[in-house]
Amino acid sequence: MQRVGVFVCWCGSNIAGTVDVQAVSDALKNEPGVVFSTNYQYMCSQAGQDMIKDAVKEHNLTGIVVCSCSPRMHEATFRKTAAAAGLNPYMVEIANIREQCSWVHKDIQTGTEKAIILGKAAVAKVNLNTPLTPGESPVTKRALVIGGGIAGIQTALDIADAGFPVDIVEKKPTIGGKMAQLDKTFPTLDCAACILTPKMVDVAQNENIRIFSYSEVSEIKGFVGNFDVTIKKNARYVKEDICTGCGACVEKCPMKKVPNEFNLGMDNRSAIYIPFAQAVPKVATIDPSACNMLKNGKCGLCSKVCAAGAIDYTQKDEYIQEKYGAIVVATGFNPISMDKFDEFAYNQSKDVITSLEFERLTNAAGPTAGHLERPSDGKSPKTIVFVQCVGSRCDACAEKGKEYCSKICCMYTAKHAMLVRDKYPDTDVYVFYIDVRTPGKNFDEFYRRAVEEYGVKYVKGMVGKVTPEGDKLKVQASDLIENKQLHIDADLVVLAAAIEPDKSARPLATMLTASMDTNDFFTEAHPKLRPVESPTAGVFLSGACQGPKDIPETVSQAGAAASKVIGLLAKDKLTGNPCVAHSNELMCNGCSSCERVCPYGAITYEDKEFRMPDRTTKIRRVAVVNPAVCQGCGACTVACPSGAMDLNGFASNQIMAEVDAICK
Amino acid sequence: MNNKYLREELIRESGVNPKKCMKCGKCSATCPAYDEMEYHPHQFVSMVESGDIQPLLQSESLYKCLSCFACIERCPRGVEPAKLVEAVRLAAIRKQGENRMTANDVAEFLDEDVPQQLIVSAFRKYSK
Amino acid sequence: MKVSYFPGCTLKNKAKDLDLYAYKSAEALGVTLEEIENWQCCGGVFTTARDEVATKLSSVRALKEAFSKEQPLVTVCSACHNVIKQTNHAVQNDKEFSDKVNRYMGEDGGYFGEAEVYHYLEMLRDLVGFDALKEKVVNPLKGKKIAAYYGCLLLRPGSVMKMDDPENPSIMEDFIKALGAQPVVYAKRNECCGGYVSVESPDLAKKSSNQVVQNAKMQGAEMIITACPLCKYNLLKNGADIPVVYFTELLAEALGVKEDTDEQ
């Protein structure tokens, strides 16, 4: 039998205002196992904690019940108090008589009754508590960053700066991501390349960072501190360590008609290519779907002109195994397809483009060398219509748009409109908006400058139809303030397409057993207080994979994710949570129900030898829980049909004892 | 009929939830009959929601809607303004003696090529 | 292949061509159109009000008959197709409406939206196949630049009609290609011709129709095809200066059964 001490907290008037604390401590005195019961104004204060410690010694307590606030608030505090008094910290139970009682009741009598019941349940449970000891596991001091855009780059640099090795896996031939495609950045209008490319060079030169470009993560096993990852390095048919990036092959390649993805198909590249001049690594890659040599063995020109001898047509995909202590997801975003929005005629006219295409069109390194020319005929547009919220805030049809606000479009559209008016003042620029959303430092000032100084015509309303006719785009739109329908003959229409998580995110989340929301954005451990951690231990989130973000926010989050990784890698050993599941192998029938419901992949099966009553042996398949991976959610314990699964600290008999105490 | 009851009746009958409207105006932007209308699709949604229905009942706009469903197709929130316009029109013409069109009117537009479809459609929309 | 066929009021009168060529072409393609017995006019337009029941019963009866014969119900007129498909959708999804409808159905037993509705074009695409159609073409319409006019009724509401992408359709363009001609894509192809409002406001119909014709011509069209008698009427009445013909006429011509029909 336990010797239980009960400590009822007043929490000032927070509890004592609605609960008769004296009555609670008196009532609980008579519960089985209780040898001491008292109440105090602030149990969490030093004096309150000392009161607990003294009572442990004086009454030889083996278990403690604190009737106070939510365990989320002070369970850790009282566990430490118990440990200081020489008790196992898991011999403490909290009865939440504040959030679940005093704060929700107005009447002292009902409040007191309920507090007593909650206290009784906690006493019943602590009587069945057993001391628990958390396990320990080592930490591999290396981090993996998946995605090499600005989010991945910043996270990797910050982790590397703290002295830990980091690998970046990027599926494209170069790091840089979407930011490398941008022209200028709001609200300061500094050039994206000018601030990004030095960081890319830093990554390349950092001794602690390895870049796996043109590569993907193909398998992830293990758990926090001990991930085993397989990285697939796609064959680029160029020896990375020998290629000097001189570009001779690119020049000589006869196959020059491949749509250039870096410029969003607005110009062409060769079959062997370097995505852009500042690519990191600056290494050529052969596109096997376009290369004649790879397709039918006819050509081989690039190999002939390569002075370094870097071309290797026989290169195969390579699989690399590596261990990591932490994984950062930085898989970023893409604009959604405009196929389902053809009321804007994106598929009918080359002069209806997305905002990202517009970035390339105004970029000095883009297909028009920065001159604003219409894709159809190269003429300079005299009237430009920007349409905001194309596919954002759209819940009419799940195949079409996204219910959320894409957050970045208002600002980049203001930027585009302003830049056009600045460089080409004789251009008429319209922006159709539903709401202009500019929360951010210097954001609204920026938007107002576009209107007031640059004369961009902002129209409250939406475009309903774009009709290409001759060389004009007939735009039909509403002006809700003036209550009229507008008809504008435009030369260029720019659609602010909604953004969505990269398609690689969903399979990656499955590999990581990390959770996602319905939009395929990664879920954070807590939306406010743990924004860069995934609920899966050891997995961290950086950038737009977690939700739409602009560059400053992405960089902040990237740094925050890095600091969490550093905090993890700085530890030599990880202390686990002892409240994990365990399987009674005698009762387990190996049915796999638990494995199927486990969201963390913590359960595996092994064949075990059992001695039978007749002294023969029998091999049976039984469940084994990896305590370092288990998060103690308890899903397996309810799924288990034979009752073999149980949860330390929340055992079925403990829960039943609580229920009995409440129903008594 | 008081406005509160009428509002509820229109919402029930059309199946439209005007609260879903985010006031983007795309319905009115895409409406081919906009210039003929005194009240435009987005105003129908807003005015029904606020119970300001009498002006709509008396408005010529009711008879200009083409039922082409462009507003229904393109509304980002799935509000379906045309269904609300239809409900208001029915509320107007279902009253005794309020038919917009009678058989006597047919002669006016009948020509050699008028398809039967035009006559039956017009009766469906303008007469009860 | 045998299908149930709902011709509709106009096809027996002002749009006889649409009907005749539909029959002849179907025959050439090995499809038998079995006309619904005692079909009644669909009413021309679907009333979206949920309490309008009686006006939708003719559609329900046609649907029920097709279902009882285990045949798909094929319509060729855009308006009939729209009304019947929307009615079927309402029976499937609006319990209150379905209950009311079934009270009218009386002793024949209930109808719960089981029938499949195809527009003639859908029949060509999904049941016959455009590839099979292409093989049966004897007079390919080479070099003809043809604009498909969908109007509003064929595609909308997209979630109910499920015929094609309502903003970026291709079924009629693919049809034109199968006949050997060259489709002209233009933005106004899915905008309204003015519809029944032509009786109330002829100017609006004129404006709408003109915009459609103008846009098609500017994009290079020499001819417009349609599946809707009212579209054809509005476009021609408001001064279309390129031919506007029913798609079935074009089909019959390509299949080499048009002359044959004309002689009758």
Threshold 0.90, pTM exceeds: no
Specify the residue for token string 């969903």. Answer: A506
For residue A535, tell me if it sits in a domain.
no
Please give the pLDDT value at position C264: 46
Distance CA A102, CA A119 (A): 13
Q: What is the mean pLDDT of residues B36-45?
A: 97
Q: What is the mean pLDDT of chain A?
A: 95
Residues B112 and B56 occupy one common structural domain = no
Whether residue B63 and residue C197 make contact (CB cut-off 8 A), yes or no, is yes
Nearest to A642 by CA among A583, A580, A602: A583
Per domain, the residue ranges of chain C are: 2-120, 131-256
Main-chain dihedrals φ then ψ at residue A279, nearest 5 degrees: -55, 145
Please give the pLDDT value at position C57: 94
B77 CA: distance to closest CA in chain A (Å): 5
Nearest to C57 by CA among C122, C11, C19, C103: C103
CATH (domain of A80): 3.40.50
Residues B88 and B111 occupy one common structural domain = no
**For residue C210, which residues of chain A lie inside 8 Å, CB to CB?**
none
| Chain A, nearest residue to B35 by Cα | A485
Whether residue C167 and residue A341 make contact (CB cut-off 8 A), yes or no, is yes
Q: What is the 8-class DSSP label of residue C181?
A: -
pLDDT, one tens digit per residue, over A366-395 is: 999 999 999 999 999 999 999 999 999 999
Q: What interface predicted TM-score (ipTM) does this complex get?
A: 0.95
Q: Is B52 helix (H, G, I), strand (E, B) or coil?
A: coil
Distance of CA C124 to the CA centre of its chain: 12
Which of A339, A341, A466 is the closest to C187 by Cβ? A466
Please give the pLDDT value at position A218: 97
Of A323-327, A613-617, B64-68, give the lowest mean pLDDT range.
Answer: A613-617
Residues A343 and A468 occupy one common structural domain = yes
B119 CA: distance to closest CA in chain C (Å): 8
Nearest to A619 by CA among A631, A630, A609, A629: A609
DSSP-derived pairing of the beta strands C73-75 and C32-35? unpaired
Q: What is the mean pLDDT of residues A330-336?
A: 98
Whether residue C47 and residue B68 make contact (CB cut-off 8 A), yes or no, is no
Mutate to test the interface with C, among A348, A394, A466, A473 (most CBs of C within 10 A): A348
Nearest to C153 by CA among A294, A267, A407, B68: B68
Tokens representing C247 are 């798609």
pLDDT, one tens digit per residue, over A577-608 is: 899 999 999 999 999 999 999 988 889 999 99
- For A643, the domain range is 581-648
Distance CA C151, CA B126 (A): 21
Specify the residue for token string 């890698």. Answer: A569
For residue A614, tell me if it sits in a domain.
yes
Higher pLDDT: A92 or C105? It is A92
Higher pLDDT: A235 or A613? It is A235
CATH (domain of A492): 3.50.50.60
Mutate to test the interface with B, among C9, C81, C200 (most CBs of B within 10 A): C200
Q: What is the mean pLDDT of residues A640-661?
A: 95
**For residue B20, which residues of chain A lie inside 8 Å, CB to CB?**
395
Whether residue A462 and residue B24 make contact (CB cut-off 8 A), yes or no, is yes
pLDDT, one tens digit per residue, over C115-124 is: 999 999 999 9
Residues B114 and B66 occupy one common structural domain = no
Nearest to B56 by CA among B41, B70, B71: B41
> HSE of B32 in the Cβ direction (CA atoms, 13 Å)?
29
Residues A247 and A147 occupy one common structural domain = yes
Specify the residue for token string 């607005």. Answer: A266
Please give the pLDDT value at position A96: 97
Residue C242: how many CB atoms within 10 A of its CB?
A: 15
Residue C95: how many CB atoms within 10 A of its CB?
A: 9
Q: Is B72 helix (H, G, I), strand (E, B) or coil?
A: helix
Query: What interhelical angle do C78-93 and C57-68 show, nearest 10?
Result: 80
> Interior CA angle at A583 toward A578 and A588, to 5°?
175
How many CB pairs below 8 Å do chains B and C form together?
140
Q: What is the 8-class DSSP label of residue A533?
A: B
CATH (domain of A618): 3.30.70.3270
pLDDT, one tens digit per residue, over A459-514 is: 999 999 999 999 999 999 999 999 999 999 999 999 999 999 999 999 999 999 89
| Chain A, nearest residue to B22 by Cα | A434
Residues A96 and A230 occupy one common structural domain = no
Residues B65 and B122 occupy one common structural domain = no
Tokens representing A241 are 């360590």
Residues B78 and B110 occupy one common structural domain = no
| Chain B, nearest residue to C195 by Cα | B66
Q: What is the mean pLDDT of residues A266-294?
A: 97
| Percent of chain A with pLDDT strictly greater than 90 | 92
Distance CA C71, CA C89 (A): 18
Q: What is the mean pLDDT of residues A143-169?
A: 98
Query: pLDDT category, B83, cuts 50, 70, 90?
Result: very high
> Interior CA angle at A259 toward A255 and A263, to 5°?
125
Judge whether C167 is closer than 8 Å to chain A, CB to CB: yes
Contact A388, A410 (CB under 8 A): yes
Alpha-carbon separation of residue B31 from A49, A463, B40, B65 (angstroms):
71, 11, 8, 9
Residues A633 and A552 occupy one common structural domain = no
Distance CA A556, CA B108 (A): 72
- For B126, the domain range is 101-128
> Interior CA angle at A643 toward A642 and A646, to 5°?
145
Please give the pLDDT value at position C109: 75
Q: What is the mean pLDDT of chain B?
A: 95
Alpha-carbon separation of residue A429 from A315, B24, B32 (angstroms):
51, 20, 24
**For residue C167, which residues of chain A lie inside 8 Å, CB to CB?**
340-343
Whether residue A469 and residue C191 make contact (CB cut-off 8 A), yes or no, is no
List Cβ neighbours of A307 (8 Å cut-off, separation of 6 or more). A246, A248
For residue A533, tell me if it sits in a domain.
no
Whether residue C187 and residue A341 make contact (CB cut-off 8 A), yes or no, is no
Whether residue C49 and residue B68 make contact (CB cut-off 8 A), yes or no, is no
Which of A343, A397, A467 is the closest to C215 by Cβ? A467
b/e per residue B71-84 (b: at least 16 CB within 10 A):
bbbbbbbebbbbbb
Per-residue pLDDT of chain C (264 residues; tens, 9 = 90+): 999 999 999 999 999 999 999 999 999 999 999 999 999 999 999 999 999 999 999 999 999 999 999 999 999 999 999 999 999 999 999 999 999 999 988 776 789 999 999 999 999 999 999 999 999 999 999 999 999 999 999 999 999 999 999 999 999 999 999 999 999 999 999 999 999 999 999 999 999 999 999 999 999 999 999 999 999 999 999 999 999 999 999 999 999 998 755 544
Higher pLDDT: A136 or A65? It is A65
Residue A655: how many CB atoms within 10 A of its CB?
A: 16
Side chain identity at residue A530, one-letter code: R
For residue A639, tell me if it sits in a domain.
yes
Task: Say whether pLDDT at A398 is over 80.
Answer: no
Please give the pLDDT value at position B3: 79
C181 CA: distance to closest CA in chain B (Å): 28
pLDDT, one tens digit per residue, over A161-177 is: 999 999 999 999 999 99
For residue A138, tell me if it sits in a domain.
no
Distance of CA A562 to the CA centre of its chain: 13
Contact C21, C55 (CB under 8 A): no
**For residue C187, which residues of chain A lie inside 8 Å, CB to CB?**
345, 348, 465-469
Contact A303, A242 (CB under 8 A): no
CATH (domain of B39): 1.10.1060.10
Whether residue A396 and residue B34 make contact (CB cut-off 8 A), yes or no, is no
Task: Say whether pLDDT at A238 is over 80.
Answer: yes
Judge whether C47 is closer than 8 Å to chain B, CB to CB: yes
Whether residue C165 and residue A340 make contact (CB cut-off 8 A), yes or no, is yes
Residues B90 and B105 occupy one common structural domain = no
Residues B81 and B28 occupy one common structural domain = yes
The architecture (CATH level 2) of C2-120 comes to Up-down Bundle (1.20)
Task: Say whether pLDDT at B2 is over 80.
Answer: no
Residues of A contacting chain B (CB within 8 angstroms): 343, 389, 393-397, 401, 434, 460-465, 476-478, 480, 483, 485
Please give the pLDDT value at position C262: 52
Specify the residue for token string 């991945």. Answer: A152
**For residue B124, which residues of chain C lie inside 8 Å, CB to CB?**
43-45, 47, 55, 196
Mutate to test the interface with A, among B16, B26, B83 (most CBs of A within 10 A): B26
Please give the pLDDT value at position C260: 58
Number of compact structural domains in chain B:
2
C37 CA: distance to closest CA in chain A (Å): 38
Please give the pLDDT value at position C259: 75
Residues of A contacting chain C (CB within 8 angstroms): 339-343, 345, 347-348, 397, 465-470
A394 CA: distance to closest CA in chain B (Å): 5
Residue A109: how many CB atoms within 10 A of its CB?
A: 12
Nearest to C134 by CA among C170, C178, C175: C178
Q: Is A276 helix (H, G, I), strand (E, B) or coil?
A: coil
| Chain B, nearest residue to C161 by Cα | B73
Number of compact structural domains in chain A:
4
Query: pLDDT category, A342, cuts 50, 70, 90?
Result: very high
Strand partners, A15: none
Tokens representing A141 are 């001091």
Range list of β-strands (E), A271-325: 272-273, 285-286, 318-324
Nearest to A34 by CA among A10, A3, A7: A3
Please give the pLDDT value at position A448: 98
Distance CA B83, CA A593 (A): 49
Please give the pLDDT value at position A629: 81
Please give the pLDDT value at position A229: 98
Residues B24 and B62 occupy one common structural domain = yes
For residue A440, tell me if it sits in a domain.
yes
What CATH number should be reported for the domain whose range is C131-256? 3.40.50.1860
**For residue B118, which residues of chain C lie inside 8 Å, CB to CB?**
44, 196, 198-199, 230, 233
Residues A154 and A272 occupy one common structural domain = yes
Specify the residue for token string 């073999």. Answer: A644
Whether residue A463 and residue B42 make contact (CB cut-off 8 A), yes or no, is no
Distance CA C72, CA C123 (A): 9
Distance CA A431, CA A488 (A): 12
